[in-house]
A = this chain, B = another copy of it.
Amino acid sequence: MEKARVEAFSDGVLAIAITLLILEIRVPEPEALNGAGLAHYLGQQWSSYAAYLLSFAVIGIMWVNHHAIFQAVARVDRTLLLLNLHLLLWIAFLPFPTALVARYFRRGYDAGVAMAVYSGVMFVIGLSFQLLWRWITRDDRLLHGHIDQPQAHARATRFGLGLGVYLAAVGLSFLSAFATLILHFLMAGYYVVDQLAVGGQAPDRA
């Protein structure tokens, strides 16, 4: 019951954050088109669509991931509650760097700044997932049955690799915002495929 309410609250925050992303795609005032057609304007703001697509995929994956983590949880303690809120704080923050990327991607040096902020937030989100996972799997107190420590460790290590990539992405942002954007899409794609690779299995067996 307790756990169900934490899951419901988390799902709520994730569902709202993912749906708020659309507010970052701007509808131009007719006067702001400066004589160019709407079609031309819509074509020009492709970085907004890319940012929407990326962040929607990212939050969607996080939702699946969050869900998989909570499958293992039997009991919720205060620390878990706080680590979960900490994670939500950063996921709920994501619409902001998404909007930065959407608006500054074709703006020279500032594109790099925007991508670096985005990459940095992704790094911190990864770290927050890591903290949550480590607390849950620290021992058997919060878990259904006994935890397979090597497997939990392997999962933490894989999370850790992702962290390294996001950290590298912060640096890469200043070299090439475009390459960094591609890297984020590849990471999202990897996580999707990785989760699919678990097979046609239901997530509760993941």
Q: Interface of A with B (CB < 8 Å)?
A: 1-2, 5, 7-9, 11-25, 27, 29-30, 33, 37-39, 42, 52-53, 56-57, 60, 63-64, 67, 75-79, 81-82, 85, 88-89, 92-93, 95-96, 99-100, 103-104, 107, 109-110, 113-114, 117, 141, 192, 195-196, 198-204, 206
Contact = CB atoms under 8 A, between A and B. Distances in A.
Contacts of A192: 82
Contacts of A196: 78-79, 82
Nearest to A16: B19
Contacts of A63: 9, 85
Contacts of A96: 22, 25, 27
Nearest to A98: B27
22 contacts: A1-B204, A5-B11, A8-B8, A12-B16, A13-B18, A18-B88, A18-B92, A19-B92, A22-B92, A23-B23, A27-B99, A27-B100, A38-B100, A39-B110, A52-B93, A57-B85, A60-B89, A77-B202, A78-B196, A78-B201, A79-B196, A82-B192
Contacts of A76: 202-203
Copies in the complex: 4
A25 B56 CA distance: 20
A128 B15 CA distance: 19
B203 A113 contact: no
B5 A9 contact: no
A5 B67 contact: yes
A118 B165 CA distance: 37
